[in-house]
Amino acid sequence: MSTHLSVPKTYKLFVGGAFPRSESGRVYEVTTPKGGFLANAAQASRKDARDAVVAARAAVSGWAGATAYNRGQVLYRVAEVLEGRRAQFEEEIAAQQGVSGAVARAQVDEAIDLWVWYAGWADKFAQVAGNANPVAGPYFNISVPEPTGVVAVVAPQQSALLGLVATVAPALVAGNTVVVVASEAHPLSAITLGEVLATSDLPKGVVNVLTGSPAEIAPWLASHDDVNALDLTGAGELEWIDLEIAAAQTLKRVLRPLAGADAVAPSLSRITALTETKTVWHPKSLL
């Protein structure tokens, strides 16, 4: 008879490429739909959110300055590591959401496919979103998309992994860095994704994952002066209009909440919504 004592895992935050505990010391229990204990997860505080924004800001220049091809290759690598960890994701999704193994496998398949879909746009979306503008005079006038900067995301709350991928991946494609508030009820896959990112080629601070209460964390991110855009895709159950008003005080771009299939559907507009357009004038050669 085995005397081995199982040791429940405490899932920490993912900030700046490391896995710190919440500075508040708080944790909360993650349970199955029937109330069974699964694990403890860190309950992020305002200070944790500020630390995540600092890490994301420090990573902007390196990630935005990388070539589009390089960003695409890094994102493909993340998909490879995701594939290698799929068994853990399937187990976590089945336990958190109370679904069958087949349903969990389908969600992981869809999440990996979606990540690859966005990775493929990394060196292509600029050709679609940018253009050469007709002007009168001996000039070239060219518009090109550039990353907005630090993007704060409220991930879909009913999805453990797919909703997370659907909101984080498009922000990364354009060269933005991300602070994401994961699903409060299903946070385990978010931190496991952090482990995937930490062991891939993604530079530290490019993605930062906070777990806990979106109602507590999101207002601080919405009003933070150093956050450039706010994705409220998963904020449908929050007072999201208040978040949008707070974001307006610092002139943030805002993506409003989406529900159901729309929240996780692949879309080029999710990439371009998190970019700014730079227009360049250049004289034509007189030779």
Residue 45: both structure tokens together: 């505080």
56 within domain boundaries? yes
Phi, psi torsion values for 16, nearest 5 degrees: 60, 30
Contacts 24+ apart (CB under 8 A), 194-201: 194/14, 194/19, 195/14, 195/19, 195/85, 196/78, 196/81, 196/82, 196/85, 197/14, 197/78, 198/14, 198/17, 198/19, 199/81, 200/74, 200/77, 200/78, 200/80, 200/81, 201/73, 201/74, 201/77, 201/78
Tell me whether residue 4 is in a domain: no
Closest CA to 160 of 98, 118, 202: 98
Helices H / strands E in the chain, number of each: 10, 11
pLDDT of residue 194: 97
Evaluate if residue 287 carries a pLDDT over 60: no
Coil vs helix vs strand at 274: coil
Burial 43-57 (b: 16+ CB within 10 A, else e): bbbeebbbbbbbbbb
Q: What is the pLDDT of residue 260?
A: 82
pLDDT of 2 strictly over 70: no
In a domain, 1, yes or no: no
The 10s digit of each residue's pLDDT in 45-66 is 999 999 999 999 999 999 999 9
* pLDDT tens-place string over residues 9-32: 789 999 999 999 999 999 999 999
| CA atoms of 71 and 23, how far apart (whole Å) | 32
Mean pLDDT of 65-82: 97
Structural domain count, the chain: 1
Q: Is residue 211 part of a domain?
A: yes
**Sheet strands (E) in the chain:** 10-11, 27-31, 37-42, 131-132, 139-147, 150-154, 177-181, 207-210, 229-231, 253-255, 275-283
Q: What is the pTM of this model?
A: 0.92
Examine residue 27 and state whether it is found in any structural domain, yes or no: yes
> Which tokens is 96 given?
């958190």
Residue 121 lies in a domain: yes
The answer to the question of residue 2 being in a domain is no
pLDDT at 236: 84
Within a domain: 14: yes
Residues 167 and 209: their CA atoms lie apart, in Å, by 12
Average pLDDT over residues 117-125: 96
Query: What letter represents residue 139's amino acid?
Result: Y
Please report where in the chains the tokens 């990630």 appear, as a residue.
63
Print the domain residue range for 23: 10-283
For the cut 70, the answer to whether the pLDDT of residue 90 exceeds it is yes
pLDDT, mean over the chain:
93
Question: What length is written for the chain?
Answer: 287
Residue 132 confidence (pLDDT) above 90: no
In tens, the pLDDT along 145-190 reads 999 999 999 999 999 999 999 999 999 999 999 999 999 999 999 9
CATH number of the domain that 68 lies in?
A: 3.40.605.10
pLDDT at residue 5, rounded to an integer: 73
